[in-house]
Homo-oligomer: A and B are copies of this chain.
Amino acid sequence: MPFLKKIALFASLPEASLLTIAEVAGLQRFSNHAYLFREGEEPDFVYCFIEGGVVLVGSGADAQEAVIEFFGPGESVLLPAALLGLPYLVSARATSDGQALLIPAYKLRQLIDQDVALAAQCARVLSGHWRVLISQLKEMKTQGATERLARFLISKAEHETGAATLVLPGMKKEVATRLGIKPETLSRTLRKLKAYGVESDGDSIRIASIERLAALTRPPASQDRPNR
């Protein structure tokens, strides 16, 4: 199982642990827009993406969807539900064709109490996930739609300076709810960002200068604020 090494959860584990995992892991292909699992279900597996990715969505009341986050190759989802044996709080919908490694939840619950390396790595990966959510929550509570979109785009760019081109990790309407806004508002906000050097064509985006865009997110701070 060469690709175990590509999954953050397993990359740093010693050979012994890898072997045990390889024994219980299964491979699954999935196609775009397919649901890998749904909110409320009992957790059967942890999903680790080798290729392609998913979006985690929570379905609020009404028919509203709340996109929590996008996940791609090397990342894992559902560790929390699997470890605690509690129903999923979110559904996962594929954002492309791909394949994932599935680790049975009950196996993981056994292994984690026996294998220090695995347990410690789980704790570290979960810590990272926690920090991602904290950042998102902070943004939701303190920034407006424009700033959030700007930071989102920057976070999807590889480098942090100069120009960048990137592809949105999902449909525009998914990106919209990830940002906590409606698709219509995303459309308009994206257009507003043209003035800051952001060109969009379908699902690919070109940022002329990341610095310029970043300047948007922290208000001038000092004396003069031209307009706004």
Which residues in A have some Cβ–Cβ distance to B below 8 Å?
58, 60-62, 64-68, 79-81, 83-84, 86, 89-90, 112-117, 119-120, 122-124, 126-131, 133-143, 177, 180, 217-219, 221
Contacts and interface: CB of A to CB of B under 8 A. Distances in A.
Task: Please give me the 6 A-B residue pairs with the lowest Cβ-Cβ distance, nearest first.
Answer: A60-B142, A80-B127, A119-B119, A66-B141, A126-B126, A58-B138
A131 B133 CA distance: 10
A173 B54 CA distance: 37
A180 B142 CA distance: 8
**Interface core residue of A60, A65, A81, A114 (most chain B CB under 10 Å):** A60
A219 B83 contact: no
How would you classify the secondary structure of chain A's contact residues: helix, strand, loop or mixed? Answer: helix
A90 B86 CA distance: 28
A124 B83 contact: yes
Contacts of A128: 80, 84
A138 B80 contact: no
B180 A140 contact: yes
Contacts of A117: 113
